[in-house]
Amino acid sequence: MAANELGPWINSAGEGGVRNSMQEFPGAGTNGPFEFNFAGGYIDQSHVKAYRYDPISAQQFDQTLTFVGPNQVTTSDVIPEGQFVIVYRDTPKDKPLVDYSEGAVMDEANLDKSNDQAIFAAAEMVDRFDTINTSSTDAINRSVEALNKANTAIADSATAVSTANSANTTAGQANTKADTAVATANDAHGIATGIDGKAQQALDNSEEAVTTANEASDTANGIDGKAQTALDNSTAAVATANAASTKADTALTTANGFQTQINTANSNASSAVTTANAANATANAAMPKAGGTFTGAVAGTSMTVTSLTVNGQAAISGGLRISGRSYLASDPTLGLGFLNSASTAWNFYVNDSSGAGTFRGSLTCASVAANGSITAQGNLLATGVVYSGNGAAYLAANGDVVSGIYVGGSVWQALAQKSPTNVQIPHAVGVSEIGPLSNGTVDGGNPWVVQGGRSLGGSSTANAIWLRVVWLRTP
């Protein structure tokens, strides 16, 4: 017998309450969750519906569903014990969910949605068709049962008539019991008449049931035709989908080839990034980008710094450019020095072996102290005093050459040779005496000249003479 709570939707259903597109759950005093499982699932949550059924009042109450999982819902009402909740799928059947246009691309998602709509609609119609068949069979079975009961009633009435006839015969044989028999017969006739009326009513009901069954059969035949059309459409859709799937497989194969190349490129890029990160980490560990202190050797073809403090030795194989101008460089022959910015000439260098320094241009300084010689390829200009012999002789700022001793050499020869004629040569500051000159020869030596003499008497050196000598200086 059909479950009454399913009647409002399909008029009749199996006792199990399970179809392709619907499920029945008995109430337990909660609103779920109720876990359903439709054949093929569903396209959209809005296609999943439910109602609460009260078998006592035979009323249904639509429910608002809340999804707590892909296949789990709670109802808006609490479902009491003794009532039922029916969760069913109702896929739209009035129009396609996907409207294709000429020249549009048919992708897998749209094809699947079209196929699912056709298959789900057919499955939902099959549910209704099955339940209608169940209802028709149930109606036929009930009409047959009613007919059997009517036939039994007719047979019972015939038996009653036979009994009445026998009673009438018995009444004729026994007048004393005739009244009783007649009364009994009359009662039996009344009973038979009542039974006949009930049998007629049962027959009428069975005819009405047959009519209802015939109408249900006609409806089922119409549904079967629509279901066959939907099945044919779904078959065509499946064929189209298979063709699209073949093209999709070809495109996927091509895409996989591109993906392989992309993966190879990504792998190479990742390796490059890893190498760069390792190099960056090494560089950061060896030398900070800004500020900080690093130890060990720093190797590189070019380096630009704004400030560099070295507490130990700094070995530089190339040139050290300072402020974008000259280079501090080294040469295995010349030594260490400064190249001009064009790296074409040495502005200054110091020989590592001899310690001698060489300037390309003029040297201007407040004071120069040289333990060795100073060689000038050009002019040597001194605005102050030039000392020699650890200060024993010097070239004064006014041009005087002053010394307590005769130095000799090219300077004195030059003075002797270059002094102009017919010019009075002044004496240098300071007078020396050579003597005593009493009985012999005393030489003053070059460059002394005699300025005068001095004698002394009344002593052991009486009548002795001392020569007073001075140096000459340039006019």
Note the pLDDT of residue 66: 96
pLDDT at 310: 66
Indicate the number of domains in the chain: 2
Between CA 416 and CA 151 the distance in angstroms is 178
Q: What is the pLDDT of residue 407?
A: 47
Residue 88: beta bridge partners? 22, 49
Q: Is residue 296 part of a domain?
A: no
The domain boundary, picked from 365, 393, 425, lies at 365
In a domain, 386, yes or no: no
Low-confidence ranges of the chain (pLDDT < 50): 1-2, 9-17, 178, 181, 199, 210, 213, 405-407, 412
Query: How high is the pLDDT of residue 422?
Result: 64
pLDDT of residue 437: 75
Confidence (pLDDT) at 114 = 85
Let me know whether 347 and 253 are in one domain.
no
Cis preceding linkage at 33, omega within 30: yes
| β-strands 320-321, 327-331 pairing | antiparallel
Chain-centre distance for alpha carbon 459? 118
Of the residues 216, 234, 261, the one at which a domain ends: 261
207 and 351 share one domain: no
pLDDT, position 178: 45
| 327 in the same domain as 179 | no
Domain presence at residue 447: no
Per-residue confidence (pLDDT) for residue 219, from 0 to 100: 62
Q: Which long-range contacts (CB under 8 A, 24 or more apart) does 160-167 make?
A: 160/188, 160/189, 160/191, 160/192, 160/195, 161/188, 161/189, 161/192, 163/188, 164/188, 164/189, 164/192
Of 261, 287, 302, which closes a domain? 261
Residues 349 and 243 in one domain: no
Does residue 301 fall inside a structural domain?
Answer: no
- Which helix (DSSP H) or strand (DSSP E) does residue 464 occupy? strand 464-470
Residue 274 lies inside a defined structural domain of this protein: no
pTM: 0.30
Instruction: Provide the angle, in degrees to the nearest 10, between the axes of the packed helices 178-286 and 108-173.
Output: 160
Say whether both 255 and 330 belong to one domain. no
Q: What is the pLDDT of residue 419?
A: 53
145 and 214: one domain?
yes
Residues 181 and 86 in one domain: yes
pLDDT at 462: 60
Domain that holds residue 360: 319-365
Based on the domain organization, do 214 and 358 belong to the same domain? no
The whole-number pLDDT of residue 203 equals: 55
- Same domain? For 163 and 254 the reply is yes
Does residue 299 lie within any of the structural domains? Answer: no
